[in-house]
Amino acid sequence: MFTYTIKQIADISNSVLYSKTPDAIVTNIHFDSRSFVQIPHALFLAIPGKNHNGHKYIADLYAQGCTLFWVEKGCEYPLFDDAHYVESENVLRAFQTLCAYHRNQFSIPVIAITGSNGKTIVKEWLHHILSAEYAVVRSPRSYNSQIGVPLSLSLMSEAHQIAIIEAGISMPHEMEHLQKMIQPTIGIFTNIGDAHSQNFESIEQKIAEKMKLFAEVKSLIYCADYRLIHASAQNISCEKYAWSTTGNGNIHVQMQNRDAKTTQITIVQNAKKDVCTVPFVDSASLENCVHCIIAATILSAQQTLDEHIQTLPQIEMRLEQKKGIHNCTIINDSYNSDLQSIRIVLEFLSQQKQHSKKTLILSDVQQTGMANDELYKEISELIAAHEISRFIGIGSEISKYAHYIETEHLLFENTHDFLQAIATIPFENELIVLKGARCFAFEQIAQRLELQIHHTVLEINLNALIDNLNYFRSFLYDETKIMIMVKAFSYGSGTFEIANILQNQKVDYLAVAFVDEGIELRKAGITIPIVVMNPEISTIELAYIHNLEIEVYNFAVLHEVFRCAALHPEKQYNVHIKIDTGMVRYGFQEHELPKLMQEIKAVPQCVIASVFSHLVGSDEARFDAFTHEQIALFETCSSYIQSVCTYPIIRHILNSAGIERFPEHQYSMVRLGIGLYGISAVNQEKTRHVSTLKTHISHIRSITSGTSVGYSRAGITTRDSRIAVLPIGYADGLRRTLSNGVGTVLLHNVEVPIIGNICMDATMIDITGVDAEIGDEVILFGEKHPITIMAKKLETIPYEVITSVSQRVKRIYYLE
């Protein structure tokens, strides 16, 4: 177990200790102030970074009860008499040193996995195979970064017999640090692809950097059919398990489909033949299976391999947030269940503010290596720390230790018993977390609790959204504020869910179009400043009642603010002054500013929070001259307003494209809109797609050449064809302009055309030549079928496409 005194941590990491009680115990590590809850013996890592600085949050964390801090020399931070401080030259590197020391306390096989894809799946499948025979510790979720790896290693304890650790890098020289910590005995290089390639000079360099993880392994597993991996592996002195389906390696693999859902894998090495059947037919899954089979063989786990290889599960490697029945929100994280992943999901739960009541549904926690008494006592402490309102335990073991749980609780022997009783349990207006081991089949519970609306869904990747936010933040000075546009249902992505993530990411302002949008955010627990960009005069008083701020773009709006100020003279009325520099839409013109300032100065409760304008063509180089004219005019107008004011005001003119192309004009704040969702004016490869519109095939039929398809006989086949029906139509936001082959969708990574006219609730596609069946997934737009393609075919912009997705399409929010 990870247990050290604060003095031991300082000594091991070559750091300086400031503490009156050096024997204070540390058992928990936190690095994210947003998810911190006070649990015993928690140490906060104050890591400074490009877009954040943990030292800024020490005072807040101290107020919450944290007294153990790891800080960096040269950074400013508050000193509290009863707090303990470990000070290092570099907090992250010092923490890595500590975790390398911790890893060295255990002489057990450590499997390290790297590669472009499949790391987490291979890790989870190996755990599935090995955990029946061994006590296995593994990286939580995708904890494979410079901070994720040491956190993973900190989970190692005397009870474990095997460790499985993921390692990922995004630039040169990162892997050396990971290798020094992990010190793997067995290595798996899954494959190589384009992911995270932008910081490497070539694919060869990326492979060489990843290969550094295996510098001292005893055994290395990889597919020799990746020619460049095979060549690079020759630089590693170890026993190589280079498997190949084409004769390139020292292990020959044959794969033969037995039926539509299973494959027989034959592995031949040194005249020894092993045969097993796996429940997959796709090439990526089969590749992952072979890695797992060879690793299990190296560990002499043949018996457990034979028993469990046929039951390898489909891995949902993400935490999903969905709307539930009776105005509930469901957080489904039943992809695995161990103590660390329980901590992670409860931290995510603590960030959600839309419901005050919180219910945790948890199964028996299996194969942790901990004594059950100790395990469930710690779980009860987590339940108390995260203020869970109601606990529902499912399983025979968890029921034995329910006496540790002080909150309201219900207990069931198994999932079937819970489902039998679910109709009698009131679920209403609450957050419900599902966290269960796979054998408890919590997907059945999710099915009963989720709001079933429509088979078509818009998936929103919250990790990608945060990455995009940080990409645009990378252009900004430390002191520059950022306002995020969440109008138009957050560009179709869902207002509250996005706003909540942004609040947790410490953005400075949110902006909505109308007052009712802002009121809904306030009711849902959003507390940061919100600006209403297009207030109707009749709603301005209501806006101030709900602590919203108003964009003032003409004298009529201003005078209504004055009227509200007269009614409530005790309040301060923040306004944001819009200047028209060329949009010719809303805003004051330069000649109106003297009168504007004269009137505002006469009403002291009215305070100018910011002055701003809107660029009309910052995404196109052909308008650069006009953009500079706008900025020059804004400089003149905003400088005049500031000269009249006796207090500092915020100035902002840059939008998403402006942040990338004109960062020198960022003033004191910028506004980020469509860029948050992965649309970049100049660096599309550096942003991530956030939204995926997907559906499933609901019907398939075969027709002969010359058959008409859809309304008005608009689609006529020119060959014998297979036609699939999708449950999505123009009522969902799929424009009829895409009918008759204009639009395409992605089916099994194959682009197939829309045939006939798009209907209100259905669309037909021509799937001739594609092996598909009812229920198969179809992508309308997403990472592999970008929204920009659809926008181009519609002769419009991505804004219009994403905001056109109907609200009847269910939104699913997930963390990778």
The one catalytic residue in 357, 711, 793, 799 is 711
Structure token digits, residue 366: 């299996």
Distance CA 690, CA 460 (A): 6
Check pLDDT > 80 for residue 336. no
CA dihedral (331, 335, 336, 341) in degrees, to 10, reads: -40
Check pLDDT > 60 for residue 268. yes
Predicted local confidence at residue 166, as pLDDT: 96
Nearest to 368 by CA among 396, 336, 400, 334: 336
Predicted local confidence at residue 481, as pLDDT: 97
Predicted local confidence at residue 490, as pLDDT: 54
Predicted local confidence at residue 646, as pLDDT: 93
Distance CA 450, CA 430 (A): 12
pLDDT bracket for residue 452 (50, 70, 90): low
Distance CA 373, CA 158 (A): 17
10-40 tens-digit pLDDT: 999 999 999 999 999 999 898 887 777 777 7
Structure token digits, residue 193: 């692809």
Predicted local confidence at residue 370, as pLDDT: 76
529-569 tens-digit pLDDT: 999 998 999 999 999 999 999 999 999 999 999 999 998 88
95-128 tens-digit pLDDT: 999 999 999 999 999 999 999 888 999 999 999 9
Structure token digits, residue 292: 């797992």
Check pLDDT > 70 for residue 375. yes
Predicted local confidence at residue 770, as pLDDT: 94
225 Cβ partners below 8 Å, 6+ apart? 244, 245, 246, 248, 249
319: left (phi over 0), alpha (psi -120 to 50) or beta: beta
- Burial profile 51-80: b = 16 or more Cβ within 10 angstroms, e = fewer: ebbbbebbeebbeeebbbbbbbeebebeee
Predicted local confidence at residue 198, as pLDDT: 75
Residues linked to residue 692 through DSSP beta bridges, in sequence order? 459
Check pLDDT > 70 for residue 277. yes
Q: How far apart are the first and last CA of the chain?
A: 27
Check pLDDT > 60 for residue 492. no
- Of 444-448, 476-480, 755-759, which gets the smallest average pLDDT? 444-448
| Over residues 147-168, mean pLDDT | 95
Structural domains of the chain, ranges and CATH numbers in brackets: 4-92 (3.40.1390.10), 106-311 (3.40.1190.10), 319-452 (3.90.190.20), 460-686 (3.20.20.10), 691-815 (2.40.37.10)
CB atoms within 10 A of CB 341: 19
The one catalytic residue in 487, 491, 553, 814 is 487
401 is catalytic: no
pLDDT bracket for residue 260 (50, 70, 90): confident
Q: Crossing angle, helix 593-601 and helix 624-644, to 10 degrees?
A: 30
377 is catalytic: no
Residue 559 near residue 550, CB atoms below 8 Å: no
738 Cβ partners below 8 Å, 6+ apart? 754, 758, 790, 793, 794
Q: In which residue are the tokens 């549904």 written?
A: 361
627-636 tens-digit pLDDT: 999 999 999 9
Predicted local confidence at residue 335, as pLDDT: 64
CB atoms within 10 A of CB 128: 20
